[in-house]
């Protein structure tokens, strides 16, 4: 303890009090001792503070410690703490950490010494801090005070997907001309971006119109010089066109805003701009918020925009100083392209006087070698005046593995990258028995597919993160191609992909015949007729979108004369056409069902699951999630709208990023650098650090040419942006030069943000870091070569006394006249493609073994002498080539015999065509090989599998003895052979009853599943094997209602259940008399008079490698300083023989609460309270942690 005078305190200014130091608080909570840097932040005066926290410097832990310090020393109660961050994930992490430490504080003797009255302990035990995202906080303000603007209550918030759909409907139904050749999807992107910019910078459309008119007048009225012609130069005309198109979008924008008002909706930009207006224009809102909160934490402040700055400055930066702690890193300000203002962080000290600056510069994530490269990259930022110091590694940090390389061409680079990652992956497996986390961070989405393919060729499981990259995955590309063909007959590229892909493998001869048929259906002249008419040649070369045109999809429906094709090609074309026709009849289905139907019809689900390795359906499931989200945003969502949405995601380099990315184990993740911010991996690769890629080529697309960007003068952060300076009497040449200088200034600003992006990418590595580049790309006659970034990294390594990295390879510069070695190589590919690739020999060998076994089985006489081969059921014959099956979506076309295999069985590839086009990387199925799956040996069994357990449990139907049946003795009494068929079926049923199947234990279990594991492992195995919804149960509904009533009675704050939504209850339902009796029984119990410390407490704990999740009904503080966890039961008291299994639930709760609060397990009790009987059951000998581990391990391996 120490006596200090608290400077500038909010509640205790100038009062001499005894404070616990950050070190004492950490010791009382059983936490590691903070570093001196962290301690300075934690114990900072109760005044505004700016904390510059470097990458991996422990800012979340420091913010949590700051809250606990303020609460423990009585500066503020938990409910008067407001924490704001950007993502739900970050808010959840900070909230969980703060709450866990406050629970420990509540049970710590430290509070008794600091506050003998017990008031602080009561506040800690009964209140919690408010930790939200910036947008959620803005939404709360609008919800509470919106009528002041006015905004009607009950306005719904549109997700990004829902906003896109609403804007797309406005664009698609717009009747007036907006003078652009852009497709609706592109215009929708412009509209949403412009609406976001106007909202973010609090600009009215009128100001935008005036600014555009001013600039166009300046350009058009500038006198030409003697050497200039009458017409405007192309560069100036492009600027004028951009300004006019931006103005032409404003009526669309106004229609979009009107549509939102009609539908009582707002988007994220509306929400933040409205909140900023409330804070800046209504002093009563400011007074209310300052009375509500006594301390504020602002996370990732460098990523805030202008509207957020106005909101926070208006609320907490004026008047009496209060403890507002802003945390950020100017070197990680990488979101300028989506409205963030990097200047907000340094301006904090002016917006929130008298703010003091602190630093967190010790990285707990990166090894010294990685930090050496990161500091070298950030050096020029510091030289430009960026207020950030070099990061240093923590004491005792282990060495890292950093490699830098430059190769002659991009293929060599990819080979090195994939080989190195694979080798490090295997090394990590050998030393730890677990795969490492690994990521490849790219600057361009277009590089994802080739990188993923190279990694898969080395047997690595790969996940492509983000919708833009996901669309390049082969199975997803096949699926979207089929969707396009269903609604667009002219989608020739998509149709060609299906026809030439691994399933149908249509050869060049048949494809040419099909295209000829498409031209015939369109009424196009023959090629000879076209060749004879020069005008027809020109017309034929021009692309067209005429209604009378026909495409490959039309030819699939009506392929014409069979003799124009090979016999096998014609059969496949007919079958594909039949499938597509059947799917078109199902277009009325909801989108998720339609997409699932197409996936099954194309057999993509089977193909994905058949691949070796751990990814399987991961990409198809990720795409299904995208479709589900899109459909959920609008019940009337259409397939064409979905395809436009996917087009937008694919075209926008930085658009439609994944909302929240999680680090995945057991696979290499390929994602953009922007998506990687805030994450960390054991192995990180940063490829293609070359000119015109990273940093990208010079852009001439500042606001002068970019339609969706606001003019710099209108932005809220205009004081930090380059200025456009045009003299009033400037001639046309001087105007042009001024615009060029302005664009160059913006390009220099872009390069600074690119450097910050590289800094972010490098600091994601926990151990291994690969940075590489190349001279020659796949195309182009000029070499790229290392960018300034890669050159700086190499020079810093060579200049160091102790080089932090290994220069693995550095290819010399090509001679000036050297050709591109890749461009001169002839690309060849087998057509039709062989989907099995290098696996063909092994698959063919396995198939031959299966066929041999089947032949041997069919050759054996039946066990029953009455049954002959003639009596065995036969498969139906395969339909003739010219007959279509009755339902093309049936799952199989079985052969009539083992000798007449369907050509689509793919056991023998057809002869390749002489024509060998360039390969489509998405069609290269050889790249899909993965790390082999480890299978258990022995008989086929139902197997639980997790990283540390292999558990066997039978999954079989209950045995049923059939009643004896008397069958006729001979065929004369059974002319149809029914008796023999029954014998065969019964034999098959008996064999199936003995079958044991493999069941995979999930990575996490609920507490209920843990109880079921203790009571009946076989039942749990069957439910995991085939999850089914439980039948409607009035008793379960009554129990849910009772728990809801208790939560409301105890004042718990939680999310609504579906049953609580308006209209969700059954209309006209009779009052539940039994529910009233439950309420009366509880109110008569001794628990009714006790106040719980917490209710509905979620938790997640790890037991022997398994994650166990649950939720505790109520926790009560006992007089002896211990705790009692109570689970409310509305059913009957169980029999004694069921109690040991049920007690597993209480054992898990007990251990979870002990871990959450830091309380010894022996001081935590647990009980069931059976409400109806007013009976509290306290099982003795609850399992401890070792007991639960033994339960997991008790199932035989």
Residue 888 C-beta-side C-alpha neighbours within 13 Å: 22
Contact between residue 299 and residue 84 where contact means Cβ atoms under 8 Å apart:
yes
249 and 303 both lie in a single domain? no
Residues 541 and 551 in one domain: yes
Please state at what angle helix 119-126 crosses helix 59-72, rounded to 10 degrees.
Answer: 140
Q: Closest Cα partner for 933 from 474, 604, 615?
A: 615
- What pLDDT is attached to residue 1029? 55
Which pLDDT belongs to residue 214? 96
CATH of the domain at 526: 1.10.486.10
CATH number of the domain within which 675 lies: 3.40.50.300
Nearest to 205 by CA among 714, 626, 656: 714
Q: Are strands 130-133 and 765-776 parallel, antiparallel or unpaired?
A: unpaired
- Same domain? 405 vs 332: no
Q: In the chain, what is the greatest distance between 2 CA atoms, to the nearest angstrom?
A: 114
**Tokens 């961070």 -> residue:** 441
Task: Tell me: do 534 and 634 sit in the same domain.
Answer: yes
Q: Are 474 and 493 contained in the same domain?
A: yes
Report the pLDDT value the prediction gives residue 943, as an integer from 0 to 100.
32
SS3 for 1175?
Answer: strand
For residue 961, tell me if it sits in a domain: no
Same domain, 611 and 760: no
The packing angle between helices 184-200 and 639-651, to 10°, is: 70
> Would residue 484 count as lying in a domain?
yes
Contact of 338 with 719, CB cutoff 8 Å: no
Asked whether 425 and 458 are in contact (CB, 8 A), the reply is no
The verdict on residue 1188 lying in a domain is yes
DSSP character for 405? E
Q: Are residues 1042 and 1185 in the same domain?
A: yes
Instruction: Round to whole Å and give the CA distance between 786 and 692.
Output: 10
pLDDT of residue 876: 41
Angle between helices 1139-1157 and 1007-1015 (to 10 degrees): 140
Reading phi first (left if > 0) and then psi (alpha if -120 to 50, else beta), residue 1158 is in: left
Q: Is 696 exposed, middle or buried (0-12, 13-18, 19+ CB in 10 A)?
A: middle
Last residue of a domain, one of 207, 235, 263: 263
Nearest C-alpha neighbor of 622 from the set 472, 503, 465: 465
472 and 588 inside one domain: yes
Question: Which of 614, 629, 651 finishes a domain?
Answer: 651
* Residue closest to 776 by CA, chosen among 692, 695, 686: 692
Contacts of 320 (CB under 8 A, 6+ apart): 10
CATH number (domain holding residue 1136): 3.90.320.10
* One domain, residues 136 and 165: no
Which secondary-structure segment (H or E) carries 672? strand 668-672
Of 263, 295, 322, the last residue of a domain is 263
Answer whether residue 858 is part of any domain: no
* Distance (Å) of CA 751 to CA 216, 404, 675, 677, 683: 28, 22, 19, 18, 26
Distance CA 82, CA 61 (A): 16
Phi-psi bin for 525: left (phi > 0), alpha (psi -120 to 50), beta?
beta
Kindly state the helix (H) or strand (E) to which residue 544 belongs, with its residue range. none
Helices (H), 994-1115: 1007-1015, 1017-1025, 1034-1050, 1073-1083
Distance CA(125)–CA(106), nearest Å, equals 6
* Whether the bond into 695 is cis, omega within 30 of 0: yes
10-residue stretch averages of pLDDT, the chain, 1197 residues long: 36 58 94 94 96 93 96 96 92 92 91 90 92 94 92 85 88 89 90 94 96 95 85 91 96 95 91 96 96 96 95 94 94 86 90 94 95 95 82 92 98 98 95 92 92 93 80 87 91 90 89 90 61 50 46 88 94 94 90 93 83 68 87 81 83 52 88 92 98 82 89 93 92 94 92 95 97 95 95 96 95 93 79 76 86 80 49 41 37 34 36 35 35 30 36 39 45 56 70 59 73 78 63 61 76 39 34 74 88 82 76 87 89 85 89 83 91 89 82 64
What region, left, alpha or beta, does residue 8 occupy, with left being phi > 0 and alpha being psi -120 to 50 degrees? left
Q: Compute how many other C-beta atoms are within 10 angstroms of the C-beta atom of residue 849.
A: 10
pLDDT at 1181: 80
Do 646 and 501 share a structural domain?
yes
Is 8 contained in some domain? no
Enclosing domain of residue 283:
36-89+126-142+273-360
Is-contact 29 1157, C-beta < 8 A?
no
Tokens representing 792 are 């700086």
C-alpha distances in Å from residue 116, one per residue of 119, 1062, 1099: 8, 48, 31
Query: Are residues 316 and 429 located together in one domain of the fold?
Result: no
Provide the number of structural domains found in the chain.
Answer: 5
| CB neighbour class for 548 (10 Å; exposed up to 12, middle 13-18, buried from 19) | exposed
In a domain, 417, yes or no: yes
Residue 765: closest CA among 398, 412, 426, 457:
398
Find the DSSP H helices in 525-617.
527-532, 534-541, 552-557, 567-584, 591-601, 604-610
Q: For residues 252 and 182, what is the distance between their CA atoms, to the nearest angstrom?
A: 14
Using the 8-state DSSP alphabet, how is residue 669 labeled? E
What values do phi and psi take at 502, rounded to 5? Answer: -70, -20
Residue 1091: half-sphere exposure toward Cβ, Cα within 13 Å: 4
Say whether both 418 and 506 belong to one domain. Answer: no
Assess whether the previous peptide bond of 1007 is cis (omega < 30° from 0): no
Buried b (16+ CB within 10 A) or exposed e, 1127-1161: bbbbeeeeeeeeeebbbbbbbbbbbbbbbbbbbee
Residue 1017: phi and psi, rounded to 5, are: -60, -35
Report d(CA 131, CA 896) in Å as an integer: 67
Q: Give the C-alpha separation, 911 to 894, whole Å.
A: 24
Angstrom CA distances, 1131 to 1034, 1035, 1036, 1075, 1170, stand at 12, 8, 9, 12, 7
Residue 1126 lies inside a defined structural domain of this protein: yes
- Tell me, what's the pLDDT at 1000? 61
Instruction: With beta carbons less than 8 A apart as the criterion, state whether 1161 and 1154 touch.
Output: yes
In the block, residue with structure tokens 């003299």: 727
Whether 902 is in a domain gets the answer no
């Amino acid at each position: 303890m120490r006596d200090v005078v608290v400077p500038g305190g909010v509640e205790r200014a100038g009062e001499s009090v005894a404070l616990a130091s950050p070190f004492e608080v950490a010791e009382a909570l059983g936490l590691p001792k903070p570093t001196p840097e962290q301690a300075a932040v934690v114990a900072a005066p109760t005044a505004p503070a700016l904390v510059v926290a470097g990458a991996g410097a422990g800012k979340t832990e420091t913010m949590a410690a700051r809250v606990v310090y303020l609460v423990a020393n009585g500066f503020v109660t938990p409910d008067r703490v407001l924490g704001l961050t950007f993502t739900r994930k970050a808010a959840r992490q900070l909230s969980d950490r703060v709450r866990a430490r406050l629970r420990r504080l509540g049970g710590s003797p430290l509070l008794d010494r600091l506050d003998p009255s017990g008031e602080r302990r009561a506040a800690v035990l009964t209140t919690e801090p408010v930790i939200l995202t910036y947008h959620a906080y803005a939404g709360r303000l609008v919800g509470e005070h919106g009528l002041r603007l006015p905004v009607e209550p009950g306005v719904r918030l549109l997700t990004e997907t829902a906003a896109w759909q609403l804007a797309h409907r406005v664009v698609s139904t717009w009747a007036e001309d907006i003078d652009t050749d852009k497709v609706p999807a592109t215009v929708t992107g412009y509209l949403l971006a412009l609406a976001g910019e106007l909202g973010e910078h609090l600009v009215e459309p009128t100001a935008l119109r005036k600014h555009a008119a001013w600039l166009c007048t300046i350009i058009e009225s500038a006198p030409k010089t003697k050497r200039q012609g009458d017409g405007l130069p192309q560069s100036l005309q492009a600027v004028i066109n951009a300004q006019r198109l931006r103005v032409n979008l404003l009526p669309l924008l106004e229609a979009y805003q009107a549509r939102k008002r009609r539908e009582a909706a707002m988007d994220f930009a509306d929400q933040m701009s409205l909140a900023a207006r409330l804070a800046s224009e209504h002093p009563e809102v400011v007074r209310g918020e300052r009375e509500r909160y006594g301390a504020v934490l602002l996370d990732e402040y460098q990523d805030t925009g202008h509207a957020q700055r106005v909101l926070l400055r208006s609320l907490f930066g004026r008047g009496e100083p209060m403890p507002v702690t802003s945390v950020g890193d100017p070197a990680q300000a990488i979101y300028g392209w989506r409205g963030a203002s990097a200047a907000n962080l340094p301006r904090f000290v002016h917006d929130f006087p008298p703010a003091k600056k602190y630093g967190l510069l010790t990285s707990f994530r990166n090894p010294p070698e990685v930090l050496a490269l990161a500091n070298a990259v950030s050096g020029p930022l510091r030289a430009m005046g960026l207020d950030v110091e070099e990061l240093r590694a923590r004491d005792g940090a282990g060495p890292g593995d950093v490699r830098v390389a430059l190769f002659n061409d991009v293929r060599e680079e990819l080979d090195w990258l994939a080989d190195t990652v694979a080798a490090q992956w295997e090394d990590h497996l050998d030393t730890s028995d677990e795969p490492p986390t690994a990521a490849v961070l790219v600057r361009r989405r277009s590089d994802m597919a080739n990188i993923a393919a190279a990694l898969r060729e080395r047997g690595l499981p790969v996940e492509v993160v983000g919708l833009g990259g996901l669309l390049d995955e082969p199975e997803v590309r096949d699926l979207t191609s089929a969707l396009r063909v269903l609604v667009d007959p002219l989608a020739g590229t998509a149709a060609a992909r299906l026809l030439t892909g691994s399933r149908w493998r249509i050869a060049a001869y048949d494809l040419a015949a099909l295209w000829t048929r498409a031209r015939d259906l369109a009424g196009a002249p023959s090629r000879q007729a076209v060749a004879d008419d020069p005008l027809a040649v020109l017309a034929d070369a021009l692309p067209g979108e005429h209604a009378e045109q026909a495409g490959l999809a039309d030819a699939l429906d009506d392929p014409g004369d069979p003799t124009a094709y090979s016999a096998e090609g014609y059969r496949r074309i007919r079958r594909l056409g039949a499938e597509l026709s059947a799917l078109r009849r199902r277009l009325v289905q909801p989108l998720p069902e339609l997409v699932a139907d197409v996936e099954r019809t194309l057999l993509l689900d089977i193909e994905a699951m058949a691949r070796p390795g751990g990814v399987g359906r991961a990409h198809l499931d990720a795409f299904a999630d995208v479709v589900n989200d899109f459909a959920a945003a609008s019940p009337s969502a259409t397939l064409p709208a979905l395809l436009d949405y996917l087009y937008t995601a694919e075209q926008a380099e930085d658009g439609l990023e994944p909302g929240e990315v999680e680090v995945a184990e057991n696979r290499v993740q390929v994602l953009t650098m922007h998506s990687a911010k805030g994450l960390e991996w054991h192995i990180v690769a940063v490829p293609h650090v070359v000119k015109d890629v990273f940093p990208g080529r010079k852009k001439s697309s500042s606001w002068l040419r970019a339609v969706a960007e606001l003019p710099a003068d209108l932005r809220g952060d205009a004081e930090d942006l380059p200025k456009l300076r045009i003299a009033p009497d400037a001639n046309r040449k001087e105007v042009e030069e001024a615009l060029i200088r302005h664009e160059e200034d913006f390009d220099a600003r872009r390069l600074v943000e690119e450097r910050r992006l590289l800094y972010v990418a490098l600091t994601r590595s926990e151990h291994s870091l690969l940075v590489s580049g190349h001279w020659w790309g796949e195309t182009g006659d000029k070499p790229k070569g290392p960018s300034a970034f890669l050159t700086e990294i190499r020079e810093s390594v060579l200049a160091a006394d102790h080089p932090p990295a290994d220069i693995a390879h550095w290819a010399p510069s090509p001679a000036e006249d050297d050709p591109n070695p890749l461009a001169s190589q002839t690309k060849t590919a087998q057509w039709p493609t062989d989907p099995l690739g290098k696996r063909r020999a092994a698959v063919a060998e396995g198939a031959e073994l299966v066929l041999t076994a089947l032949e041997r089985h069919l050759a054996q006489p039946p066990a029953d002498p009455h049954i002959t081969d003639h009596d065995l059921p036969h498969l139906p014959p395969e339909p003739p080539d010219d007959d279509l099956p009755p339902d093309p979506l049936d799952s199989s076309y079985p052969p009539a015999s083992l000798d007449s295999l369907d050509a689509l069985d793919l056991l023998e590839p057809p002869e390749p065509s002489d024509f060998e086009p360039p390969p489509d990387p998405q069609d290269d199925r050889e790249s899909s090989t993965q790390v082999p799956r480890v299978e258990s040996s022995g008989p086929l069994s139902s197997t639980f599998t997790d990283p540390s357990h292999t558990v066997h449990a039978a999954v079989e139907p209950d045995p049923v003895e059939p009643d004896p049946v008397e069958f006729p003795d001979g065929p004369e009494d059974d002319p149809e052979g029914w008796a023999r068929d029954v014998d065969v079926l019964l034999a098959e049923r008996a064999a199936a009853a003995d079958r044991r199947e493999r069941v995979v234990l999930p990575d996490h279990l609920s507490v209920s599943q843990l109880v079921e594991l203790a009571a009946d492992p076989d039942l749990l195995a069957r439910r995991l094997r085939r999850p089914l919804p439980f039948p409607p149960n009035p008793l379960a509904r009554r129990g849910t209602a009772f728990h809801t009533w208790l939560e409301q009675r105890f004042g718990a704050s939680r999310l609504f259940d579906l049953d609580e939504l308006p209209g969700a209850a059954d209309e006209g339902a009779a009052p539940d008399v039994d529910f009233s009796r439950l309420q009366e029984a509880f109110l008569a119990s001794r628990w009714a008079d006790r106040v719980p410390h917490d209710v509905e407490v979620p938790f997640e704990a790890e037991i022997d490698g398994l994650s166990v999740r649950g939720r505790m009904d109520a926790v009560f503080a006992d007089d002896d300083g211990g705790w009692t966890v109570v689970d409310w039961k509305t059913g009957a008291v169980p029999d004694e023989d069921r109690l040991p299994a049920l007690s597993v639930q209480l054992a898990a709760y007990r251990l979870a609460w002990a871990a959450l609060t830091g309380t010894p397990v022996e001081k935590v009790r647990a009980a069931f309270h059976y409400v109806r009987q007013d009976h509290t059951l306290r099982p003795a000998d609850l399992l401890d942690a070792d007991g639960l581990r033994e339960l997991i391990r008790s199932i035989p391996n």
